[in-house]
Amino acid sequence: MILNERTLLFERSFKIDFKIIIYTGGKLNLMNKLLTLTLGCLLLIPQLVPAAEVNILSERQEFLLRPFLKAFEENTGIKANVVYLKKGSLERLKQQPGAVDALLTVDISNLTAIAEAGLFQPVNSSVINKNVPSNYRDPKGLWSALTARGRVIYYSKDRVKLSELSTYEALADAKFAKRICTRSGYHKYNVALISSMIAEHGVAAAKKWLQGLKNNLARKPQGNDRGQVKAIYQGQCDVAIGNTYYMGKMLERDDQREWAASVGIFFPNQNDRGTHMNVSGGAVTRDAVNKNEAVRLLEFLSGDLAQYMYAQVNHEYPVKEGVPYSGIVSSFGSSQEGVKKGVFKQDKRNLSEIGSYRKKAIQILDEVNYDK
Ligand SMILES: [Fe+2]
């Protein structure tokens, strides 16, 4: 759609100038005709060079993105055109090649699937390489993370002792029988977590763990991450799995604050590989018309200002070293040994490796009938 609008603008400016030349051409001598033609061409040139712009497809929400893009436009002079989409960016990129220069989305399984479909192009930017740690970038430069979030254990402050919690693996222990809630196993956040278990332990061991986790569920998988916190608040379960930023967002809402206040965050696997991290990320599309501008956008979003804004507005972890966490995020895990000011050990395995196991993760979800 965006591309079509630009094409129309091009055609309109060309036709107007063309008519002027024809009209004056009939009345003037040869020198004047040449002069008119030259002036006509000069008039045409600036109109054929459009202002720098970048066409963005975003699965990140408008409230979050708008302030960043305003800052980007002010800083770079590049106009940011955005189409917002809830999901389905892979299909959209396939259907409209060239209409989108940059994709902004969430989740490693998603980024990996689109990269494997050949719809991104490699970017080698020294700015991005400096701002974003290598485990948060595709080794071929096909995508880069822009923020991170931990997939952590939510626990009832009343009914769970911290000493009961340790690792993702331990959630399959019998002591958690009928005490755990999760959303659908097939949700991309859980697919990524299961993929990370496969990366660590192999398919067979990960499947055994997933069966154990299913056996411990207090109810059929349902709802979203916030719904699991509500279920703990209501006493349906004691322990759940969810993303860190939802706790920050619930604490800011009058109708959800009580749910969040009844629950603590525990960072699993602090004594071994660290807590599984997922990301939001960005990429330049294979058919980008405005490639340089798209790279500038990703560079800007990985920089100090945008990283700070992401952290404050959405309670996500900045990927750039040294950018402060939000106040709420700094309080996460405050009762957990080894966690200071919200800083914990993150799993540093490259996310592209984790993403590569997503099909196997879905296969073992099917085999254990996780959602049924
Ligand atoms: Fe989310």
Cα separation of 189 and 318, whole Å? Answer: 18
Q: In this structure, which amino acid lies at residue 360?
A: K
Q: How far is the CA of 204 from the centre of ligand 1 (A)?
A: 29
Q: How far is the CA of 49 from the centre of ligand 1 (A)?
A: 39
Q: How far is the CA of 122 from the centre of ligand 1 (A)?
A: 26
Predicted confidence at residue 331, as pLDDT, reads 95
Beta strands in 23-143 (DSSP E): 53-58, 79-84, 102-106
Predicted confidence at residue 19, as pLDDT, reads 34
Q: How far is the CA of 371 from the centre of ligand 1 (A)?
A: 20
Q: How far is the CA of 284 from the centre of ligand 1 (A)?
A: 22
Q: How far is the CA of 154 from the centre of ligand 1 (A)?
A: 15
Q: How far is the CA of 112 from the centre of ligand 1 (A)?
A: 17
Predicted confidence at residue 49, as pLDDT, reads 59
Give the residue ranges of the chain where pLDDT is below 70.
1-50
Provide the CATH topology of domain 149-276+328-367. Answer: D-Maltodextrin-Binding Protein; domain 2 (3.40.190)
Question: Going by DSSP bridges, is the β-strand pair 144-156/317-318 parallel, antiparallel, or unpaired?
Answer: antiparallel
**58 phi, psi to nearest 5 deg:** -125, 125
Alpha carbon separation from 56 to 86, 106, 168 (Å, rounded): 14, 14, 36
Q: What CATH homologous superfamily does 53-147+280-321 map to? A: Periplasmic binding protein-like II (3.40.190.10)
How is residue 362 written in tokens? 């879905």
Q: How far is the CA of 261 from the centre of ligand 1 (A)?
A: 19
Query: What residue ranges do the domains of the chain occupy?
Result: 2-48, 53-147+280-321, 149-276+328-367
Asked if 53 contacts 81 with a C-beta cutoff of 8 angstroms, the reply is yes
Q: How far is the CA of 31 from the centre of ligand 1 (A)?
A: 67
Asked if 251 contacts 272 with a C-beta cutoff of 8 angstroms, the reply is no
Please give the model's pTM, rounded to 2 decimal places.
Answer: 0.84
Beta strands in 267-363 (DSSP E): 277-284, 317-318
Asked if 365 contacts 203 with a C-beta cutoff of 8 angstroms, the reply is no
Q: How far is the CA of 262 from the centre of ligand 1 (A)?
A: 21
149-276+328-367 shares the fold of 53-147+280-321: yes
Q: How far is the CA of 7 from the centre of ligand 1 (A)?
A: 36
Q: How far is the CA of 225 from the centre of ligand 1 (A)?
A: 8
Predicted confidence at residue 51, as pLDDT, reads 82
Asked if 60 contacts 104 with a C-beta cutoff of 8 angstroms, the reply is yes
Q: How far is the CA of 313 from the centre of ligand 1 (A)?
A: 14
Q: How far is the CA of 34 from the centre of ligand 1 (A)?
A: 62
Please, is 51 exposed, middle or buried when counting C-beta atoms within 10 Å of its C-beta (0-12, 13-18, 19+)?
Answer: exposed
Q: How far is the CA of 249 from the centre of ligand 1 (A)?
A: 11
Please, is 253 exposed, middle or buried when counting C-beta atoms within 10 Å of its C-beta (0-12, 13-18, 19+)?
Answer: exposed
Q: How far is the CA of 21 from the centre of ligand 1 (A)?
A: 56
Q: How far is the CA of 6 from the centre of ligand 1 (A)?
A: 33
Q: How far is the CA of 53 from the centre of ligand 1 (A)?
A: 28
Q: How far is the CA of 96 from the centre of ligand 1 (A)?
A: 26
Q: How far is the CA of 64 from the centre of ligand 1 (A)?
A: 12
pLDDT tens digits along 325-361 = 999 999 999 999 999 999 999 999 999 999 999 999 9
Residues in the chain: 372
**CA nearest 62: which of 104, 3, 98?**
104
Cα separation of 163 and 10, whole Å? Answer: 66
Q: How far is the CA of 194 from the centre of ligand 1 (A)?
A: 17
Q: In this structure, which amino acid lies at residue 241?
A: I
Question: Going by DSSP bridges, is the β-strand pair 53-58/102-106 parallel, antiparallel, or unpaired?
Answer: parallel
Predicted confidence at residue 28, as pLDDT, reads 44
Asked if 331 contacts 259 with a C-beta cutoff of 8 angstroms, the reply is no
Beta carbons within 8 Å of 69's beta carbon, 6+ residues apart: 56, 80, 82
Q: How far is the CA of 165 from the centre of ligand 1 (A)?
A: 24
Q: How far is the CA of 247 from the centre of ligand 1 (A)?
A: 11
Q: In this structure, which amino acid lies at residue 157?
A: K
